[in-house]
Amino acid sequence: MNKITAAITAVGAYVPDFVLSNQVLESMVETNDEWITTRTGIKERRLLKEKGKGTSFMAIKAAQDLISKSKINPEEIDLVIMATTTPDMPVAATGVYVATQIGAVNAFAYDLQAACSSFLYGMSNAAAYIESGRYKKVLLIGADKMSSIIDYTDRATCIIFGDGAGAVLFEPNFEGLGLQDEFLKSDGIGREYLKIDAGGSILPPSKETVENSQHFVFQDGKTVFKYAVSGMADVSEKIMERNNLTKDDVNWLIAHQANKRIIDATANRMGVDEEKVLVNIHRYGNTTSATLPLLLSDFEDKFKKGDNLIFAAFGGGFTWGSIYLKWAY
């Protein structure tokens, strides 16, 4: 029997209708389109504005898009992994609710949180379940409603983040396609540089934490940028070396969409040509767990069977890594 590898066999996506452009942000905080574009590459981002709708709403939409396109019976899904930093609520896993709502009644489900690296770590998890031989269909969803934790008077963060969701299906492959290798890292030094102070077990919600705006994302931008540039570039270069890949062997770079300058620095270290670097940050901003699957959805028609894809991400914590995957269809 040939070795089982875990291949992506379908993708789906969802972004909200409401567009928050740089021009609109100019009326909200002291900034301008040129400043934002030059430093981040972002032109607009999508926000989920409807009252009472959270991350699960977008996750369900992305999963339904995948199910509709692939014609899969959701009852055949064995597992749903929900990669998210903004669950619907602190207790009661969002992935469990999503699985039930999409009709994946025979699946077990759980949430995975590693900030902007959540989907990348989720790919590792999904592949391991498939490679074990115990599971045949694993649905991995990356979704975040970042607008729910952003202070729209803080120009350091409100210009960066947006809302969205993407989903992929992993299935067994016997042709050697799918996930080939991974190089995942983490370092607790990042805890102070990108965080939300309140709402957890150290500092539970209170009148004071709300008044002090401690439930919003805090980011030390310069420090995070420095670590992200070196971290993403290092692991991407490492995964190429480990698999004897030259820049010509890499068909596509699928990098976390946090900042265009970080993406460019990673591509430069790898030596990958600009036309192989997939970018949609100008349309969505940083959607955290959703950036990688949104790239796959937006550029799905470009991929050919056997293409070499290098994934890279960096997130709060710090968490980061790179994955080498061969496209299967």
- Tell me the per-residue pLDDT of 280-327, one tens digit each, with 9 for 90 and over: 999 999 999 999 999 999 999 999 999 999 999 999 999 999 999 999
Contact by Cβ (8 Å): 183, 321: yes
Residue 165 pLDDT? 99
Burial class from Cβ neighbours inside 10 Å (0-12, 13-18, 19+) for residue 108 reads middle
pLDDT in tens, 27-54: 999 999 999 999 999 999 999 999 999 9
Give the integer Cα–Cα distance in Å for 105 and 236.
37
Q: Residue 128 class from Cβ within 10 Å (0-12 exposed, 13-18 middle, 19+ buried)? A: middle
Distance CA 146, CA 55 (A): 9
The helix (run of H) or strand (run of E) holding residue 102 is none
List residues with catalytic annotation. 116, 256, 286
| Interatomic CA distance for residues 84 and 144, integer angstroms | 6
pLDDT tens per residue across span 154-203? 999 999 999 999 999 999 999 999 999 999 999 999 999 999 999 999 99
Mean pLDDT of the chain: 97
List the one residue out of 10, 293, 286 whose CA is nearest residue 166: 293
DSSP state of 274: G
pLDDT for residue 219: 95
Element (H, E) at 166: strand 163-173
Instruction: Return residue ranges of the chain for CATH 3.40.47.10.
Output: 5-176, 180-327
Confidence of residue 1 (pLDDT cuts 50, 70, 90): low
pLDDT higher than 90, residue 234: yes
* Beta carbons within 10 angstroms of residue 178's beta carbon: 23
φ, ψ for residue 251, nearest 5 deg: -85, -35
Give every CB contact of residue 117 below 8 A, 6+ residues apart in sequence: 184, 256, 313, 314, 315, 317, 319, 320, 321
Q: What percent of the chain has pLDDT above 90?
A: 99
Q: Provide CB contacts within 8 A for 224, sequence distance 6+.
A: 190, 193, 194, 316
pLDDT, position 197: 97
Residue 57: per-residue pLDDT: 98
pLDDT of residue 2: 81
Query: What CATH class has 5-176?
Result: alpha beta
- Distance, in Å, from the CA atom of 56 to the CA atom of 33, rounded to the nearest integer, reads 31
DSSP 113-165: -BTBTHHHHHHHHHHHHHHTTS-S-EEEEEEEEGGGG--TT-HHHHTTB-EEE
β partners of residue 11: 168
pLDDT, average across residues 243-248: 98
Q: What is the pLDDT of residue 270?
A: 96
Over range 146-152, report the average pLDDT. Answer: 98
pLDDT at 26 over 90: yes
pLDDT per position as a tens digit, 65-109: 999 999 999 999 999 999 999 999 999 999 999 999 999 999 999
- H or E stretch covering 107: none
What is the third-level CATH fold of 180-327?
A: Peroxisomal Thiolase; Chain A, domain 1 (3.40.47)
Tens-place pLDDT, residues 190-212: 999 999 999 999 999 999 999 99
Give 218's strand partners: 195
Tokens of 125: 């998890």
| Closest to 291 measured CA to CA, from 114, 110, 162 | 162
pLDDT in tens, 100-145: 999 999 999 999 999 999 999 999 999 999 999 999 999 999 999 9
Tokens (6 digits) for 323: 């994955």
CA angle 63, 308, 317 (to 5 degrees): 60
